[in-house]
Structure formats: structure tokens, C-alpha cells
Amino acid sequence: MSRLVNPHGGGELKPLLLEGAARDAELARAQTLKQVKMSSRETGDLIMLGIGGFTPLDGFMMHSDWQGVCDAYKLANGLFWPIPVTLSTDDESVKEGDNIALVSDSGEIMGTMKVSDKYTIDKAHECMMVYKTTDLEHPGVKMVMEQGKYNLAGPVKVLSDGGFKAKYGDQFMTPAETRKKFEEMGWSKVAAFQTRNPMHRSHEYLAKIAIETMDGVLVHSLLGALKPGDIPAAVRSEAIATLIDNYFAPNTVIQAGYPLDMRYAGPREALLHALFRQNYGCSHLIVGRDHAGVGDYYGPFDAQKIFEEIPKGSLETVNMNIDWTFWCNKCGGMASQRTCAHTKDDRILLSGTKVRAMLSEGQDLPVEFSRPEVAAVLKKYYQGLSAEQNVKIELKGHSAA
């Protein structure tokens, strides 16, 4: 019997991706159906439904689910869920009862859906409840406000992983695959480290704190779309692999990736990160400063506090809170606000914006912030960008970690 946490909802994993003859037949049927084009975020959500990352959902949410998730963190059936998973369109002709083909921006047929509900939403309400703002400068708010007029709901059949397996190989692991790997390694206490950035010294420190008390750490890197100025997944993955190979003990870390786009929903997204890491088999989620945040929309530790505000038992995967971390010159190493007695004048803190600016200008990162091998990978990437691209990175970069 598995010693890992149960998939969300307490049952088995529920992957919706068809294979073999069943996939071939459904793809042939899909080519005869009305097509609805999905956004990048919706495509990522569909792939997560396909691989079982959003277990136990069977498709995009109905109005009652959307309302419950926005207002009370729960689906219509009462199951905990922190962020709406919805599909939108402006197509007036789609009706309830229709079968539709779901198509990516590139034109690939990704799945099919039987429309069980077509409804409109108060987009500003979703933004206030999920993102705590209606400011269009917030990238998550912008995504919601640019959605189509109608939401379409219904069970889906998924036909593609969007090419993630072909592009990323063994790094693109499904929940079934990470669970199998954890079992093979004899792990039951597994901490997930969420990242959309390369791992610098503070991130390394967070992971090593977890390794001290866990069987291992899953460095789980976002492979979907980011905001302008963020470092591409392939470069980030190379930098993380370099760090793991050079600075972590063998058999303590697994690097994997998942296909979602960032929503930048701060506290609510931290809950979603814990929920789908439960499906991947992780017992803990490392939550540090400004988890899944952007700009100054959330307090630095709001993502930790929200775990205390949801009903007990909502999730089996629990938060592992770690304070603000940094290099302290007087301590002579990495420390946190809980362990360091010195002042800010002794601490080296670099924001993501500052790091990107330094790299784009060809400067070396201080060894107190980044391991030299990691900095070399990032410097090579930035040197390959045009001067115009580097200027855009400086202007558009945010300080979210």
C-alpha cells in the first residue's frame, strides 16, 4: 500500500488523456466538430486535466462551481478548490448540449467537450475574489478581463499533452510518474519546491532546509507561459539541473516540470500549488516569501497565512513555511529572519528585477546570490539576446520571486 498522500478528493488519480485506438477515434470525431479556440492558460489547464494534475475534475467548471470557488473555495459538491478552472468563448452559436473540439492557439486539436453549461460571469468579481484587485496591470487580472463573453463547461476528453513530453523529455512528469518515482526511491515525505525562476542561493537554502526533515524534494518548475522578462523554461531547467548536479547530495532532489501558465494569484495560487502537488504525491509545499506573487499586490507572507484561513482537512498536502532568506555577511552564509540577528546592512538581497538588469548588462552576479555555475548558464542566455530585448526585460521585469 502506498505511503504517499492520497490524490485530491481521496480517490484515484483521474487522468483524462486518451491513448491508442480510443484517442485516434476521438480525434477523428473531433475533426467533424465546431471548434473553440483556447487561450494559452486554458490549454495548460486542459493538459493538467489530461495528465491527472487537476484530479478529480472531469472538465471545465460550471457556473455553480465557479461561484463556489470564487466565494467559498469549494466546488458545488463541496470539495475544496481555490481558483476557477474555466473555458471562455465569444462564439454566440455554441449551445448547451453541443459537442465541440478544443483547439490551441497553434491550431492543434487538444480535446473535445460536451457543453453542459454556458454562462456569463462578473469578471470583476472573479478578479477581486481571486486576485484581490481589478488593476489591469496585474497579469492575472488582464487574463480574466480578456476572456470571452461566455464560459463553457462540461466533461472533456483530452487528446494531446501539447508537445511538452516531446520538448522536455523525462523532465515532463505526470502525477502517476512522480508517484511511481517516489515509491521507487522509498520516499513518503516529499516537499515540493515551486519555481518559475532559476534557483539562486536563497532557493537552494529553502530546498536544503526541507531535505533536512523530508525524504526528498521535488523541484517543480513551471513550463507554461510566463510574463515578459521571465527566463524561458529551457534555460531555467538547465540552470536548476546545474545547481542540483553540483550542490545537492545524490538522491535527494528530483527536477520535474508541469504545463500550467502562471496566474500570479499570490495566496490563492499557493493553495492551488499545494492541491495539485498532492496529486503529484507531495506531502508538503515549501512556501517562502511572495509565493506566486507579482508586483506589490500581496504581502510578502500572505501565501503562508492563507493556509491557516481555509477549513482544516481541505488538503492533505500541507505548507512548510520558511521566512525571508538571504546571505548575511556577518553570519558568513545563508540565513533567515528567524535565525539571523544582524541588520539589513549586513544582508545581500537582490530582487528579480535587479538580477535581470545585471545579467542584461553583462555584469557578474555576486557569489553570495548565485552559484557561479548557475550564473554562467544565465549569463550565456542573456548574452544571446539582442540589446533591444535586454532593454525590454529591464523595463518589464517584476520583482516577484
Tell me the mean pLDDT in the region 90-106.
Answer: 97
Region of 169 (left: φ > 0; alpha: ψ -120 to 50; beta: rest) is left
Q: What is the mean pLDDT of residues 313-340?
A: 95
pLDDT at 37 over 60: yes
β-strand 34-37 against 87-89: which pairing, if any? unpaired
* Closest of 335, 381, 359, 355 to residue 242, by C-alpha: 381
pLDDT score, position 73 = 98
Percentage of the chain lying above the pLDDT 70 cut: 95
Q: What is the pLDDT of residue 387?
A: 54
Residues 6+ apart with CB under 8 A from 171: 221, 237, 255, 256, 257
Structure confidence at residue 197 (pLDDT)? 87
Omega before 56 cis (within 30°)? yes
Instruction: Give the helix/strand (H/E) hosting 168.
Output: helix 164-168
What integer pLDDT is reported at residue 196 of this predicted model? 87
Distance CA 401, CA 396 (A): 15
Contact criterion met (CB below 8 Å) for 141 and 127? yes
Give yes or no for residue 386 having a pLDDT over 70.
Answer: no
pLDDT band at 354 (very low <50, low <70, confident <90, very high): confident
Q: Give the C-alpha separation, 356 to 399, whole Å.
A: 10
Whether the per-residue pLDDT at 339 is higher than 60: the answer is yes
**CA angle, residues 277, 282, 284, in degrees to nearest 5:** 95
Q: Is the pLDDT of residue 27 over 90?
A: yes
What nine digits make up the cell of 294?
507579482
112-135 per-position pLDDT tens digit: 999 999 999 999 999 999 999 999
pLDDT value at residue 3: 95
Q: Which residues are catalytic?
A: 196-197
205-231 average pLDDT score: 91
Domains assigned to the chain: 20-162 (3.10.400.10), 166-258+264-396 (3.40.50.620)
- Using the structure block, give the residue that is written with the C-alpha cell 546592512: 345
pTM: 0.94
How confident is the model at residue 393, as a pLDDT? 44
What band does 362 get if pLDDT is binned at 50, 70 and 90?
Answer: confident
Strand 347-348, strand 109-114: pairing: unpaired
Q: What pLDDT is recorded for position 395?
A: 39
pLDDT (0 to 100) of residue 317 = 98
**pLDDT-derived band of residue 394, with 50, 70 and 90 as boundaries?**
very low
Cell representation of residue 209? 532546509
- Per the model's pLDDT, the better-predicted residue between 1 and 380 turns out to be 380
pLDDT of the residue at 256: 97
Average pLDDT, the chain: 94
Q: Which residues pair with 211 in a beta bridge?
A: none
Which of 63, 314, 7 has its CA nearest to residue 176?
Answer: 7
Using the predicted structure, report yes or no on whether residue 141 has a pLDDT greater than 80: yes
Task: Write the DSSP symbol of residue 131.
Answer: I
State how far the Cα of 153 lies from the Cα of 156, in Å rounded to an integer.
9
Asked if 115 contacts 176 with a C-beta cutoff of 8 angstroms, the reply is no
How confident is the model at residue 389, as a pLDDT?
Answer: 57
Virtual torsion, Cα 231, 235, 241, 243, nearest 10 deg:
-60
> Which pLDDT score, from 0 to 100, does residue 194 have?
95
Q: How confident is the model at residue 46 (pLDDT cuts 50, 70, 90)?
A: very high
Cell of 6: 492520497
